Amino acid sequence: MEKFDKLTGVAAPMPLVNIDTDMIIPKQFLKTIKRTGLGVNLFDEMRYDRKGNEIETFVLNKPAYRNAEIIVAGDNFGCGSSREHAPWALLDFGVRCVISTSFADIFYNNCFKNGILPIVVTPEEHAKLMDDAERGSNAVLTVDLESQTITGPDGGEVSFEVDAFKKHCLLNGLDDIGLTMTNAASSIDTFEAKASVERPWV
């Protein structure tokens, strides 16, 4: 998993509340178990019409936001079914951070396991960041995980809280497998060596 320490990128405003996982990546695209290739269908039903043409008014289709790496979203982002394809699609598109006033629990935890930083802010802070995100090509935010701050285009700063363990994993690029492998040189290797002596037939 790619490490997350500091990110400076365009922030796209998506003020709609209750954006669920089916809106993030519709069910018909869940047939794959690969983490790549889903970005083209991110927000598919909002990005394209029935003929597959881009809907010009959708934020990620606008020139200023096509390469957005941050989303400032409405309340309760990621609700609905617990599909890990949702953070996969965001990451494949290029989104590394989502900022909202609240997230669905499963989606929130899945983000950390896939290298995406979900940030919870107060309604007042959210309003300021949404205003920053609505500046088009000037909607650039800097998210610093180490200092737990978000800096806006005018230099204004917002602090955020994050679980210390989740922060450690993101800073070091550790998903569940990576975290397990940090014990390879001690617990795992020791167990395997002992097992091979005690049960050589295995």
**C-alpha closest to that of 99 among 65, 61, 149:** 149
- 80 φψ region: left (φ > 0), alpha (ψ -120 to 50), beta (else): left
Crossing angle of helices 164-171 and 105-113, rounded to 10°: 30
Domain 6-171 CATH (choose: 2.40.110.10, 3.40.50.300, 3.20.19.10, 3.50.50.100): 3.20.19.10
Q: What is the pLDDT of residue 198?
A: 76
Number of helices followed by number of strands (H, E) in the chain: 8, 7
Q: What is the pLDDT of residue 82?
A: 86
Q: What is the pLDDT of residue 75?
A: 98
The residues spanned by each domain of the chain are: 6-171
Q: What is the pLDDT of residue 193?
A: 64
Point out the residues of the chain with pLDDT beneath 50.
Answer: none
**C-alpha closest to that of 112 among 40, 175, 50, 196:** 175
What does DSSP assign to residue 187?
Answer: I
Q: What is the pLDDT of residue 34?
A: 86
Residue reference for tokens 């990110």: 7
Q: How many Å apart are CA 35 and CA 175, to the nearest integer?
A: 14
**C-alpha closest to that of 144 among 42, 3, 20, 5:** 5
